[in-house]
Amino acid sequence: MSFLSASYLLARSTLSRSTIKSSRAFSTTVTSKSYNRVTLVGRVSGSFREKSFPKEGQEGNPEEAFGIVSFSLATDRNFKDADGQWQRTTDWHRVVKKGVGVADYLPRQLAKGNMLLVDGKIHYNQFTDAEGQEKSITEIIAQQVKVLAKAHPEEGEGDGDGY
């Protein structure tokens, strides 16, 4: 057996074993591991909130400041109603991105109607409001935000029709 064919067989058997191992990672019998990941593709609603926390002595340098930006992302869902007709509904997601420089660069990507890919994890925030009522907010804590398509000028402006 030549060196190349032995290497091929070894690589093939290693690949098969690693593929089997990775498929076991999602087995229902393993309870010690969990996975929290969300990937959304949708359109920006238009408004966002940003907060920046500059480092001491670097107040004029927004690229170095820790920032938090939150915005709404709309995703569409299609389904058949009781009459068998296709319907579309929109789900709204609250997305939060945190990190150094986030408040400086991310707002430029959040034009109304821009199509974004958001990769992150789900977070449930529970609190008591001023009236003593228990509240819960579901947020997507974004690890990555990418612009897939920019809105056309008429989609990103106007009377609110569209996205």
Digit-coded pLDDT (tens) for 12-49:
444 444 444 444 555 555 566 889 999 999 999 988 99
Cβ proximity of 121 and 139 under 8 Å: no
Rg (CA), the chain: 23
Are residues 144 and 105 in contact, defined by beta-carbon separation less than 8 angstroms? no
| DSSP secondary structure letter of residue 62 | G
Least confident of 36-40, 63-67, 75-79, 87-91: 63-67
Task: Tell whether the model's pLDDT for residue 131 goes beyond 90.
Answer: yes
Question: In this structure, what DSSP letter does residue 53 have?
Answer: E
For residues 16-28, one letter each, b for 16 or more C-beta atoms within 10 angstroms of the residue's C-beta and e for the rest, the string is eeeeeeeeeeeee
Out of 21-25, 59-63, 83-87, which region has the weakest mean confidence (pLDDT)? 21-25
Query: Which pLDDT value is given to residue 23?
Result: 46
User: Can you tell me the distance from the alpha carbon of 157 to that of 84, in angstroms, rounded to the nearest whole number?
Assistant: 35
Q: Which tokens sit at 145?
A: 């935000």
Q: Which residues pair with 121 in a beta bridge?
A: 141
Give the mean pLDDT of 128-142: 95
**pLDDT value at residue 54:** 80
> Is the pTM of the predicted complex or chain greater than 0.95?
no
The structural domains of the chain, ordered by start, are 36-156 (2.40.50.140)
The predicted structure's pLDDT at residue 127: 92
pLDDT, position 31:
63
* Residue 109: Cβ within 10 Å count: 17
